């Protein structure tokens, strides 16, 4: 009976996505007796004859996960629950109460309500502490980020009750918050730098990125922007089509942006159109070792067409395209089906033949080789050499190598500074400082520009900060303290600005000590470089 039922169920499963499966079978030379039938038989024997009770669904899931690991580092299995969480940043929204929070001493501290969100509309303020959620205590060792999100997020239109402690109020303040759709911004910052230079920091390529980009460009154009710095450092990628659309804004009509090709995926080309809104101004793209995938499409297209300069450090090296395939239970496999190539024909994907562990250890190996500090420690074989229209040499085989290298300044990032981050001292100090003086700070500094110009991290603040650091039993040498002192002071000021306003204010302040941004501004002043690029691109 069980065997007959199994024989009936298996074909029903295979009917799912029939066209895709039939097409794949037509292209496959594998003997079913050695593949699908063999797996089905093994699963049947385990389920029906194994000594103990089994969980067939879990076994299948484990098998899928391990099979994908054998293929490449980026093919992956996502359960239905994991899929929703993974898609949130790329979809550009989630459903919840609309607050940015931070855990401070096992307490949920509201860093800021999302403007226009449910919490903002009800008057919840930055600095409020959520001490109860649906009458359950929301503090103590049980509280972590997942615990909070499991209780505050939920379907649009549903309600959650919270009790809030607010400084200066004797009693807790009750709120019934109706959840709504909350936007997730893909642009962290937009502001003007010296020399009529606009700055945009893009953290991912999501469905809303282009709409955000147009808004940012409109803001910068009103401020008289002539040059643009596009910051893709730390951007791990996102949607291929969004990367193509963004590249299109910088290139004139008919230029190849990227093409994809795989064993079972015919070549597909993506070219620029006539619609670009920034095709003439000076353009610089910032990248580093954490810039991947879609970031490399944009920086590769800009570099290959001599449209602008790429500045920073060698990018991650992810040139594989994943296509999602739905499974019957709502889970998904994201299967690598093609590689992408830059306009000159470069494949940016770095090698992964030695396995996933070795693949992800590559960044550590780069650090050990001194690549983050010395550009001449990076060696490319002549077989990976390509030429731009101006005959500039560019290389494939493992990330985008920038036109201008900027070393990682390891002198400031001491163990002392790392411990300040790890133990949350910087965040805790700046939150407590901001919350105890919020009204007076906003009175003295009504906007981020006034704060940036006039606020000073004075000796008294540093002494209070040191006292908090020592209370965490941190140990450091005088040398470490001196090396990190300027960085710490900038971080204190920038984090206070973030707590008062938003991430944009934070980035405006740290830009003054950001070596890569400072290098980009210096390069922009070298007119001969951009004249050369402009001439060669024509």
Q: Please, which pLDDT band fits residue 441 given cuts at 50, 70 and 90?
A: very high
Count: domains in the chain: 4
Residue with tokens 């993974």: 86
Query: Do 48 and 115 sit in the same domain of this protein?
Result: no
Are 205 and 250 within one domain? yes
- CATH (domain of 156): 2.30.42.10
> Is residue 344, in this structure, part of any structural domain at all?
yes
Distance of CA 109 to the CA centre of its chain: 24
Most confident of 285-299, 412-426, 473-487: 285-299
Residues 393, 271, single domain; the answer is yes
Q: Which of 127, 161, 183 corresponds to the end of one domain?
A: 183
pTM of the model: 0.86
* CA distance readout (Å), 246 to 227, 287, 527: 16, 16, 25
The mean per-residue pLDDT over the stretch 275-279 comes to 94
- Asked which of 370, 392, 408 is the last residue of a domain, the reply is 408
**Residue 87: inside a domain:** no
Q: How high is the pLDDT of residue 2?
A: 42
- Contact yes or no for 240/269 (Cβ under 8 A): no
- Is 512 a domain residue? no
Contact 357, 69 (CB under 8 A): no
Range of the domain at 236: 187-408
Tell whether 86 is covered by a domain: no
Q: State whether the Cα torsion 48-54-59-61 is positive or negative.
A: positive
Residues 377 and 420 in one domain: no
Same domain? For 175 and 59 the reply is no
451 and 355 together in one domain: no
- Confidence label for 165 from pLDDT (cuts 50, 70 and 90): very high
- Among 80, 114, 142, where does a domain finish? 80
Question: Where residue 295 sits, what CATH number does that domain have?
Answer: 3.90.226.10
Q: Is residue 151 part of a domain?
A: yes
- Report residue 531's pLDDT band, with 50, 70 and 90 as the boundaries: low
What residues pair up with 231 in beta bridges, in sequence order?
201, 286
Q: Are residues 99 and 209 in the same domain?
A: no
Whether 234 has a pLDDT exceeding 90, the answer reads yes
pLDDT digits (tens, 9 = 90+) for 494-512: 999 998 998 999 999 999 9
Distance (Å, whole) CA 250 – CA 524:
17
Do 391 and 421 lie in a common domain? no
304 and 192 share one domain = yes
Supply the DSSP symbol for 347. B
Together in a domain, 443 and 400 = no
Percent of the chain with pLDDT over 90: 60
Are 257 and 389 within one domain?
yes
Sign of the dihedral through C-alpha 482, 486, 487, 493:
positive
Domain membership of residue 402 (yes or no) is: yes
pLDDT at 27: 54
**Between 371 and 260, residue with greater pLDDT:** 260
pLDDT: which is higher, 534 or 90: 90
Instruction: Decide if 118 is inside a domain.
Output: yes
**Is 73 or 528 the better-scoring residue by pLDDT?**
73
Query: Tell me, what's the pLDDT at 14?
Result: 39
- Within a domain: 312: yes
Mean pLDDT of the chain: 88
Determine which helix (DSSP H) or strand (DSSP E) holds 193, and give its type and residue range.
strand 187-193
Same domain, 142 and 44: no
């Amino acid at each position: 009976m069980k065997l007959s039922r199994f024989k009936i169920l298996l074909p029903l499963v295979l009917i799912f996505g029939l066209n895709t499966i039939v097409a794949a079978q037509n292209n496959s030379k594998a003997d079913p007796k050695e593949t699908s039938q063999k797996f089905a038989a093994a699963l049947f024997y385990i389920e029906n004859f194994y000594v103990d009770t089994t969980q067939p669904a879990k076994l299948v899931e484990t098998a899928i996960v391990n099979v994908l690991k054998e293929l490449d580092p980026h093919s992956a299995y996502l359960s239905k629950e994991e899929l929703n969480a993974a898609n949130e940043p790329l979809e550009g929204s989630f459903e919840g109460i609309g607050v940015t929070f931070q855990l401070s001493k096992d307490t949920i501290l509201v860093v800021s309500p999302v403007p226009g969100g449910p919490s903002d509309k009800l008057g919840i303020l930055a600095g409020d502490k959520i001490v109860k959620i649906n009458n359950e205590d929301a503090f103590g060792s049980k509280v972590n980020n997942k615990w909070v999100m499991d209780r505050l997020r939920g379907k649009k239109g549903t309600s959650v009750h919270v009790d809030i402690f607010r400084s200066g109020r004797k009693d807790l303040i009750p709120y019934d918050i109706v959840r709504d759709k909350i936007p997730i911004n893909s642009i962290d910052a937009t502001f003007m730098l010296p020399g009529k230079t606009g700055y945009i920091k893009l953290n991912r390529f999501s469905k809303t990125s282009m709409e955000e980009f147009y808004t940012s460009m409109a803001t910068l154009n009103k401020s008289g922007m002539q040059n643009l710095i596009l910051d893709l450092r730390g951007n791990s990628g996102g949607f291929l089509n969004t990367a193509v659309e963004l590249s299109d804004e910088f290139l004139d009509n008919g230029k190849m942006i990227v093409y994809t090709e795989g064993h079972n995926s015919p070549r597909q080309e993506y070219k620029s159109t006539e619609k670009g809104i920034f095709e003439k101004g000076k353009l610089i793209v910032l990248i580093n070792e954490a810039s991947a995938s879609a970031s490399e499409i944009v920086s590769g297209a800009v570099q290959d067409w001599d449209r602008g300069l790429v500045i920073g450090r060698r990018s991650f090296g992810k040139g594989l395209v994943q296509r999602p395939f739905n499974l019957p239970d709502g889970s998904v496999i994201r299967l690598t089906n093609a590689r992408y190539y830059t306009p000159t024909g470069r494949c940016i994907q770095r090698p992964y033949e030695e396995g996933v562990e070795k693949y992800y250890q590559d960044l550590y190996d780069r650090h050990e080789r001194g690549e983050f500090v010395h550009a001449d420690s990076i060696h490319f074989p002549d077989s990976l050499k390509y030429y731009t229209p101006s005959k500039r040499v560019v290389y494939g085989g493992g990330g985008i190598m920038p036109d201008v290298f900027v070393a990682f300044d390891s002198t400031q990032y001491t163990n002392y500074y790392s411990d300040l981050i790890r133990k949350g001292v910087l965040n805790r100090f700046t939150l407590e400082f901001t919350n105890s003086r919020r009204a007076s700070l906003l009175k003295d500094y009504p906007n981020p520009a006034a704060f940036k110009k006039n606020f000073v991290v004075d000796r008294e603040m540093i002494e209070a900060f040191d006292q908090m650091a020592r209370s965490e039993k941190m140990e450091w040498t005088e040398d470490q303290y001196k090396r990190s002192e300027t960085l710490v002071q900038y971080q204190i000021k920038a984090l206070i600005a973030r707590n008062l306003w938003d991430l944009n204010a934070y980035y405006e302040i740290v830009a003054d000590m950001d070596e890569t941004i400072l290098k980009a501004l210096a390069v922009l002043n070298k007119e001969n470089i951009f004249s050369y690029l402009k001439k060669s691109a024509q």
